[in-house]
């Protein structure tokens, strides 16, 4: 009776107890979270270790492979260990998305630094946006897969908010107006929504393979980045963007 859950899920020793101090060693070699191996043995940095394991699993097996148990397996702990740190699958995904938003913000910021001409400055952010999504498709997928996230978590809320604020600021700067904290005119809101919708929509469609049809019909060897550039700079001939 009850034959479930009885195949060596963790494959760890879990013996050799009986009090011997057992500070280091006897552990299957942690993966050197940072330099110098702070917290070398098991206790201490499980939370971060799990997040890094989750990122690894996500990039290796995609969204479908990103399960609580797979992450625990990757980190070398029991399948219920993540519960104590994240409470929930939603909790883990939310914290991982927060990590993604912080990576994303850093990438956007550094992209703006290297730009020189006004045109380059204007194109740097959109390009960095798409580039991040192409390099980290799994992360981008999580960050905008809202139904599995909990935005009441402060870390996620703050990181995502910073992302939005950076975008709004960039738009405002380009229009040579400062965006006052609270209110927006309709035209300001429209400019922000247009820019964000365009870049986010392009990225989503690109990652979903929806732009393949278009790219194939363009002149030989046109890259997605080139199409993005044209999309942002080409003259608008119809008075309406659509």
Partner DNA sequence: CTCCCTATCTTTACATCGTAAAGATCGGAT
Partner DNA sequence: ATCCGATCTTTACGATGTAAAGATAGGGAG
Which residues would be at the binding site for a second copy (CB under 8 A)? 1-3, 62-64, 122-123, 125-126, 141, 144, 146-147, 164, 171, 174-175, 182-187, 189-202, 204-205, 208-211, 213-215, 217-219, 222, 226-228, 230-238, 240-242
Quote the CA–CA distance of 80 and 167 in Å, as a whole number: 39
What is the per-residue DSSP string for 186-228? HHHHHHHHHHHHHHHHHHHHHHTTTTHHHHHHSSTT--HHHHH
Q: Could you give the string, one character per residue 54-93, with x where binding to DNA holds by CB under 7 A and - elsewhere?
A: -------------xxxx-x----xxxxx-xxx--xxx---
Residues 6+ apart with CB under 8 A from 174: 122
Minimum distance from CB of 75 to a second copy (Å)?
Answer: 24
| DSSP tag of 33 | S
Q: Which of 224, 55, 239, 76 is nearest to 137 (CA)?
A: 55
Asked whether position 42 contacts DNA by CB under 7 A, the answer is: yes
Contact 228, 127 (CB under 8 A): yes
User: With CB cut-offs between 5 and 8 Å by kind, which of a second copy, DNA, none does residue 84 bind?
Assistant: DNA
Question: Of DNA, a second copy, none, which one does residue 22 interact with (CB within 5 to 8 Å by kind)?
Answer: DNA
Distance CA 168, CA 174 (A): 10
State the minimum distance, in angstroms, from the CB of residue 206 to a second copy: 9
Supply the Cα-derived Rg of the chain in whole angstroms.
Answer: 23
Residue linked to tokens 């498709």: 137
Q: Does 31 bind DNA (CB under 7 A)?
A: no
CB of 202 to DNA, least distance (A): 31
- Residue 194 partner contact from a second copy, DNA, none using kind-dependent CB cut-offs of 5 to 8 Å: a second copy
Q: Which residues bind DNA (CB under 7 A)?
A: 2-7, 10, 12, 14, 17, 19, 21-23, 42-44, 46-47, 67-70, 72, 77-81, 83-85, 88-90
């Amino acid at each position: 009776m009850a034959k479930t859950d009885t195949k060596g899920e963790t494959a760890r020793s879990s013996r050799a107890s009986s009090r011997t101090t057992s500070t280091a060693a006897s552990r299957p070699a942690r993966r050197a979270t940072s330099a110098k191996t702070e917290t070398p043995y098991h206790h201490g940095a499980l939370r971060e270790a799990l997040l890094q394991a989750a990122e690894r699993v996500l990039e290796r097996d995609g969204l479908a492979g990103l399960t609580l148990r797979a992450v625990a397996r990757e980190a070398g702990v029991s399948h219920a260990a993540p519960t104590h740190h994240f409470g929930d699958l939603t909790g883990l995904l939310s914290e991982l998305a927060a990590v993604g938003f912080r990576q994303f913000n850093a990438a956007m910021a550094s992209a703006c630094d290297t730009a020189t001409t006004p045109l380059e400055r204007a194109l740097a952010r959109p390009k960095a946006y798409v580039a991040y999504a192409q390099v980290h498709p799994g992360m981008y997928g999580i960050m905008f897969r809202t139904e599995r996230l909990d935005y009441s978590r402060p870390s996620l809320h703050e990181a995502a908010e910073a992302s939005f604020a950076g975008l709004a600021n960039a738009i405002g700067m380009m229009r040579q107006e400062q965006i006052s904290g609270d209110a927006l005119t309709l035209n300001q809101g429209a400019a922000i929504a247009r820019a964000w919708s365009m870049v986010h929509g392009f990225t989503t469609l690109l990652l979903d393979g929806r732009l393949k049809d278009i790219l194939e019909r363009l002149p030989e060897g046109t890259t997605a980045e080139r199409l993005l550039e044209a999309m942002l700079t080409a003259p608008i001939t119809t008075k309406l963007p659509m």
